[in-house]
């Protein structure tokens, strides 16, 4: 009896164009046959799954200047004084404060020399700003230059309007980054004579939320989805869940950091959870299912009955005679044979041998679902002090923490940010105290 093909495929020719066309047709035919005759007919055996790729990348922000030291590249002009304010600041140990009197004029107020930095992979600048008077958009600007003392600036970034006496984290987007390399000077310029006033600047940082989602292949409801590399810009301070749907479209759902996962859209597969800070993408958590087959379906109640266990299928070497009876588990099968006090002889299970671990940084706290973390407190506890960000590996939102050891008298307080599956936020009363905590 002659052999017959399940699928009638064409034979490739030796002509390049025809050969490629025939191969493409054959692959499509095979793909359709698998979907219609295997996956669709046996969908209880197949998961939606990802073959490869489809993962976003983390990003790196670039610190321009932390403002913990004085901006002293140029001598202040008449009517201008530049000081380091170590009392009223937002991050680190201080900020730049510029005081202007009636003699101050329009122009560069303060400038700082930098080691060369490259900002071509970033999308803009964030910085903390405060003015003691109301301002309009464009009254001040931030300048970035390849020349000393901010001469011939490469880019000029106007400030938005500011409300008097209020610290504001402002974002200054770039319109063109092609020349933003070898930057060696940053400065603040006053574009409108503001009279007698003061301006505070802190933590000038370039941001980067533009992530590349790698190319890859997935099967959803029997459909083969092939995705090219895609660039996506994420929102700051969010947990973003990424899904891929049967129409080959990405779906992005944002929640607060540490918030509950949103309802999964229909006909989609999970890709990743992306965690962002104020400046960049700090973590990508892989949520892909890479297995096509349903290997171990869960048995529901009643599916395993006494008739499914033949008399001799469980040997007397494994379970003592009469241990399994018509009531499934005889009372004395457990009490008399398996959990008698005298039978617990392993020293590791005795109370005296349950250890809390060695207490070193990032180590597990013995048998507890907890771990130790050591960090240095950044500043005195007040409304202006930044939070200490402490990473952990519990893969859940912790319930709390215990102070284990410290080299200085200190009290710890919860910060303002919400705790997440990977980080907690604390403030302390004593700057530079080295503390070890147990996170649980």
Q: Per residue in 423-439, pLDDT tens? A: 898 888 888 889 999 99
**Which of the two residues, 387 and 276, has the higher pLDDT score?**
276
What is the C-alpha end-to-end distance of the chain, expressed in Å?
A: 71
Mean pLDDT value across residues 307-331: 48
Mean pLDDT value across residues 93-100: 96
Q: How many CB atoms lie within 10 A of CB 31?
A: 14
**Which of the two residues, 29 and 213, has the higher pLDDT score?**
213
- Kind and range of the H or E element at 17? helix 16-34
Estimate to the nearest angstrom the gap between the alpha carbon of 188 and the chain centroid.
32
Lateral strand order in the sheet of 388-391: 388-391, 423-428, 412-414
Q: Which residue has the tokens 């899904």?
A: 243
Kindly state the tokens that stand for 96.
């730049």
Domain boundaries, the chain: 42-58+211-286, 62-207, 303-345, 371-439
Kindly state the tokens that stand for 186.
């940053």
Of 48, 46, 53, 40, the residue nearest 289 (C-alpha):
48
Of 380, 381, 363, the residue nearest 372 (C-alpha):
363
- The span from the CA of 339 to the CA of 343, in Å, is 7
**Which of the two residues, 408 and 330, has the higher pLDDT score?**
408
Q: According to the model, what pLDDT value does residue 329 have? A: 46
- The span from the CA of 29 to the CA of 42, in Å, is 19
Question: Maximum Cα–Cα distance for the chain, whole Å?
Answer: 105
The CATH homologous superfamily for domain 62-207 is: Galactose-binding lectin (2.60.120.430)
Q: Per residue in 142-185, pLDDT tens? A: 999 999 999 899 999 999 999 999 999 999 999 999 999 999 99
Q: How many CB atoms lie within 10 A of CB 81?
A: 13
Strands 281-286 and 268-276: antiparallel
Kindly state the tokens that stand for 425.
């936020």
**Percent of the chain, pLDDT > 70?**
73
Kindly state the tokens that stand for 218.
């997935």
Strands 434-439 and 401-406: antiparallel
Q: Evaluate whether 100 touches 176 at the Cβ level (below 8 Å).
A: no
What is the 8-class DSSP label of residue 21?
A: H
- Confidence bin at 331 (pLDDT 50/70/90): very low
Burial of residue 259, with CB atoms counted within 10 A of its CB: 0-12 exposed, 13-18 middle, 19 or more buried: middle
Give pTM, 2 decimals: 0.57
Task: Write the CB contacts of 105 (distance below 8 Å, at least 6 apart in sequence).
Answer: 77, 78, 79, 190, 193
């Amino acid at each position: 009896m002659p052999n017959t093909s399940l699928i009638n495929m064409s034979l490739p020719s030796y002509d390049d164009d025809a050969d490629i066309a025939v191969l493409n047709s054959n692959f499509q035919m095979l793909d359709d046959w698998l979907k219609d005759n295997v996956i669709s007919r046996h969908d209880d055996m197949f998961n939606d799954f990802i073959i490869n790729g489809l993962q976003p990348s983390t990003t790196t922000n670039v610190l321009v200047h932390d403002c913990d030291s004085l901006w002293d590249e140029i001598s202040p002009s008449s009517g201008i004084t530049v000081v380091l304010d170590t009392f009223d600041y937002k991050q680190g140990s201080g900020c730049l404060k510029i005081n202007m009197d009636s003699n101050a004029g329009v122009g560069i107020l303060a400038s700082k020399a930098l080691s060369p930095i490259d900002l071509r992979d970033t999308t803009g600048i964030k910085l903390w700003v405060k003015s003691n008077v109301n301002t309009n958009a464009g009254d001040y600007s931030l300048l970035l230059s390849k020349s000393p003392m901010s001469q011939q600036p490469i880019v000029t970034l106007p400030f938005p309007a500011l409300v008097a006496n209020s610290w504001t984290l402002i974002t200054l987007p770039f319109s063109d980054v092609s020349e933003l390399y070898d930057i060696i000077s940053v400065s603040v310029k006053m574009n409108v004579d503001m009279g007698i006033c003061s301006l505070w600047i802190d933590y000038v940082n370039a941001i980067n939320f533009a992530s590349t989602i790698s190319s890859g292949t997935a099967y959803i409801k029997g459909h083969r989805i092939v995705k090219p590399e895609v660039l996506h810009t994420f929102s700051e301070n969010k947990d973003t869940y990424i899904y891929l749907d049967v129409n080959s479209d990405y779906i992005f759902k944002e929640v607060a950091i540490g918030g509950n996962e949103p309802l999964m859209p229909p006909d989609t597969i999970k890709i990743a959870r992306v965690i962002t800070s104020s400046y960049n993408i700090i973590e990508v958590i892989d949520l892909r299912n890479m297995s096509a087959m349903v290997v171990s379906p869960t048995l529901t109640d009643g599916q395993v009955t006494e008739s499914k266990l033949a008399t001799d299928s469980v040997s007397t070497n494994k379970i003592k005679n009469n241990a399994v009876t018509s009531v499934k588990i005889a009372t004395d099968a457990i009490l008399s044979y398996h959990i008698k006090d005298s039978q617990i002889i392993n020293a590791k299970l005795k109370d005296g041998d349950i250890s809390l671990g060695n207490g070193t940084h990032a180590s597990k706290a013995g048998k507890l679902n907890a771990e130790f973390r050591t960090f240095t407190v950044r500043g005195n506890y007040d409304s202006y002090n930044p939070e200490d960000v402490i990473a952990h590996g519990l893969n859940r939102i912790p319930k709390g923490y215990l102070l284990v050891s410290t080299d200085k008298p200190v009290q710890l307080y919860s910060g303002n940010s919400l705790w997440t599956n990977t980080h907690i936020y604390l403030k302390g009363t004593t700057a530079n105290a080295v503390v070890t905590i147990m996170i649980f």
